[in-house]
């Protein structure tokens, strides 16, 4: 008789002997079996074999490591996504502000009510802003 068979035999003998069985476990199994004596005995034997270290055919192992691994990976992915979203909200070294300033400058230059000297001054300022942008960021605004 194999070790597993011996565990099942021990569990069956316990289930049949009211003095030898674990009363708390029996009560739990009785409640789960809705008072059915045969189901209670089967549940009791299954749990006792598990407690005694035997293998239960067709039973899934109770592995908490896999669950913790899933939770850990999920939390890690959420944190990475959160930080990527936060990082994307920050200004890109002031590029967008400088582009907006250059656009406003050229719009002011196109104002038809300005005299020629003022337009030349604004154009010179816009060109300086554009050159500053090119030297700092390496491209056209």
**Domain ends where: 20, 36, 51?**
51
Residue 61 lies in a domain: no
**Residue 68 counted as domain residue:** no
Query: What is the structure's pLDDT at 97?
Result: 84
Distances in Å between the Cα of 108 and the Cα atoms of 97, 117, 119, 134 are 17, 13, 8, 21
- Asked, for residue 7, whether it belongs to a domain, the answer is yes
Distance, CA of 37 to CA of 26 (rounded, Å): 10
Q: What backbone phi and psi angles, to 5 degrees, belong to 56?
A: -105, 120
- The answer to whether residue 79 is domain-embedded is no
Q: Given this model, what pLDDT does residue 50 score? A: 86
CB atoms inside a 10 Å sphere around CB 133 = 19
The pLDDT, as a whole number, for residue 121 is 92
pLDDT in tens, the chain (141 residues): 566 788 888 888 888 888 888 899 889 998 998 989 899 889 888 888 888 876 555 555 556 777 788 888 899 999 999 988 887 777 567 788 888 999 999 998 899 898 999 999 999 999 999 999 898 888 887
Q: Is residue 132 part of a domain?
A: yes
**Any domain includes 87:** no
Is residue 88 in some structural domain? no
pTM strictly above 0.85: no
Q: Quick one: pLDDT at residue 10?
A: 86
Coil, strand or helix at 25: helix
Number of domains in the chain: 2
Domain with 133 in it: 95-137
Residue 62 belongs to some domain of the structure: no
């Amino acid at each position: 008789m194999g070790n597993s068979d011996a565990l099942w035999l021990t569990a069956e003998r316990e289930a049949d002997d009211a003095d030898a069985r674990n009363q708390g476990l029996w009560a739990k199994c009785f409640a789960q079996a809705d008072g059915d004596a045969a189901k209670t005995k089967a549940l009791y034997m299954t749990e006792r074999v598990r407690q005694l270290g035997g293998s239960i055919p067709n039973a899934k192992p109770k592995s908490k490591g896999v669950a913790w691994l899933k939770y850990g990976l999920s939390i890690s992915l959420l944190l990475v996504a959160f930080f990527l979203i936060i990082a994307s909200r920050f200004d890109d070294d002031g590029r967008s502000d400088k582009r907006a300033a250059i656009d406003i400058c050229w719009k002011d230059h196109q104002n038809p009510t300005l005299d020629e000297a003022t337009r030349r001054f604004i154009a010179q300022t816009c060109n300086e802003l554009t050159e500053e942008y090119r030297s700092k960021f390496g491209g056209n605004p």
